[in-house]
């Protein structure tokens, strides 16, 4: 396997533990240049059908031995760690974030494999007495279809792969067309570790076919709410089970007793990590009127000092936005806010004329009803809205179709914790945003932010079906 150079990188799709040759390829752009750096295999729907059949054939043997599955996950974790130097540059070249962030993503992914390998699940014996025996058994579903996004290509794929394989399912994984290469490389790395046919990785324009095909019994999708609704509708035709991790417009409520100087750096990076291209990033700040101006100034000063550059550059803190469509959306939302009277405290413009670089942007003098506040930006833009009453701030935070994550910031953590349950979101953190994104905690959203959860034993349960075993006493 080659690494990104002047020669276009190619990595084959994986089916049944071998290359899946394709007649055509699709260019993959480096967002730092806007030019192709790789060619991804364009798997056809007809080929995909064969891949699903391969996964189906591998299922019966794979489901039988939990100890074997645990060891495979441990071996995947080790292989991932051993190949970080090869995979990280590919990940940065296609996604854009700094090389150090790519390394961190791969390390976290290895940790997820280890977590599920070590997860202990007690037997669920409901009754065991002189009269009867009753047990709840969790069975694998069969073949799982996984569709993954471009913002954290490997980590969010592993969020699906690790629990699905541990549960005894086989998989077909399709990464985003913007970022297929690192996931294809992961599929190739897994050969010889995962039994043939258990983990298959494809790429191409296969979104509808990944859902509509009759073989998979479960679809796990991470992406936009708009596409997630389509996935749900198509899956309903065959009553496929779904897990949908969708969009968010995540609020941070900043109470007046905070030390602005103490929280500003943490709040900034909770919004701008990965250029804000993070489902659980802070996307709108509700700051109490007494401290709002100081907070805007502090955030703006941080934004002005951030080094935005090619992710392979020394000292880059943020890279480019991942793709041209997302770049245009971010620019459009900022321009719309400015036309509506917003003040650009920092940023607000493109950097250079190559690639998709945009300055970290802090917007003041905005309010609910402005698109950049009401919609998910998924980019390096953070609007700061003023409030005077805590109950009103919560009401405004909840007045959204989304409910993924949120946070409350206060000099008194107990005060913040008392306010947190009133916020309608799948996770509410105190004095840090998204701090509950860990392998052992459930992650999922309310309302339009998704269906089901990932991570923890709950994420594993999502890849199983319940069966009740009931019989006479075994005593």
Could you give the residue numbers annotated as active site?
245
Distances (CA, A) of 285 to 13, 120, 190: 42, 39, 42
β-strand 241-245 against 218-222: which pairing, if any? parallel
- Nearest Cα residue to 397 out of 227, 219, 253, 232: 253
CA–CA separation, 40 and 358 (whole Å): 27
Query: Tokens in use for 150?
Result: 């471009």
CA–CA separation, 31 and 34 (whole Å): 5
User: b/e for 392-426, b at 16 or more Cβ within 10 A?
Assistant: ebbebbbebebbbbbbbbbeeeeebeebbeebbbb
> From the CB of residue 137, how many other CB atoms can be counted at a distance below 10 Å?
12
Query: Tokens in use for 25?
Result: 């390829």
Q: Cα angle vertex 270, ends 394, 242, to 5°?
A: 75
Give me the phi and psi of 363, to 5 degrees please: -115, 130
Q: How far, in whole angstroms, is CA 366 from its chain's centroid?
A: 28
Rounded (10°) angle between helices 181-189 and 153-167: 40
Find out whether 403 and 425 touch, Cβ atoms under 8 Å.
yes
CA dihedral in degrees (248, 381, 276, 331; nearest 10)? Answer: 90
Distances (CA, A) of 192 to 11, 18, 189, 196: 17, 10, 8, 8
């Amino acid at each position: 396997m080659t690494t990104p150079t002047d020669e276009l990188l190619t990595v084959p799709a994986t089916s049944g533990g071998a290359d899946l040759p394709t007649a055509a390829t699709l260019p993959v752009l480096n967002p730092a240049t806007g030019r192709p750096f790789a060619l991804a295999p364009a798997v056809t729907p007809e080929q995909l059908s064969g891949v699903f059949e391969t996964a189906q054939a591998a299922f019966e043997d794979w489901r039988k031995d939990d100890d074997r599955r645990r060891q495979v996950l441990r071996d995947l974790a080790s292989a991932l760690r051993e190949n970080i130097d090869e995979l990280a540059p590919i990940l940065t070249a296609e996604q854009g974030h700094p090389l150090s962030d790519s390394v961190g993503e791969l390390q976290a992914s290895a940790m997820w494999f280890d977590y599920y390998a070590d997860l202990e699940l007690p037997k669920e014996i409901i009754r065991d007495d002189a009269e009867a025996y009753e047990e709840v058994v969790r069975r694998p579903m069969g073949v799982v279809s996984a569709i993954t996004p471009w913002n954290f290509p490997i980590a969010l794929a592993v969020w699906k792969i690790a629990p699905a394989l541990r549960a005894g399912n086989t998989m077909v994984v399709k990464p985003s067309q913007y970022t297929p290469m690192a996931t294809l490389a992961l599929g190739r790395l897994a050969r010889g570790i995962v039994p043939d046919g258990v983990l298959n990785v494809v790429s191409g324009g296969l979104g509808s076919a990944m859902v509509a095909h009759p073989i998979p019994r479960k679809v796990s999708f991470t992406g936009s709410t708009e596409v997630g609704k389509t996935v749900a509708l198509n899956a309903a035709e065959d009553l496929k089970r779904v897990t949908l991790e969708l969009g968010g417009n995540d609020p941070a409520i900043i109470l007046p007793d905070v030390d602005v100087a103490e929280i500003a750096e943490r709040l900034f990076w909770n919004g701008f990590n990965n250029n804000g291209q993070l489902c659980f990033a802070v996307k709108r700040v509700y700051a109490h009127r007494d401290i709002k101006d100081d907070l805007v100034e502090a955030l703006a000063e941080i934004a002005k000092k951030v080094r935005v550059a090619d992710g392979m550059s020394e000292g880059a803190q943020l890279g480019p936005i991942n793709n041209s469509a997302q770049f245009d959306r971010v620019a459009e939302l900022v321009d719309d806010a400015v036309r509506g009277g917003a003040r650009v405290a920092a940023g607000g413009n493109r950097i250079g004329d190559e690639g998709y670089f945009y300055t970290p942007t802090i917007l003041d003098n905005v309010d609910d009803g402005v698109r950049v506040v009401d919609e998910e930006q998924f980019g390096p833009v953070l609007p700061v809205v003023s409030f005077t009453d805590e109950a009103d701030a919560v009401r405004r935070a909840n007045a959204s179709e989304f409910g993924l994550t949120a946070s409350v910031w206060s000099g008194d953590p107990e005060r913040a914790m008392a306010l947190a349950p009133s916020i309608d979101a799948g996770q509410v953190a105190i004095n840090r945003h998204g701090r509950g994104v860990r392998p052992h905690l459930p992650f999922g959203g309310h309302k339009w932010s998704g269906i089901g959860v990932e991570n923890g034993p709950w994420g594993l349960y999502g890849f199983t079906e319940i069966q009740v075993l009931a019989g006479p006493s075994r005593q």
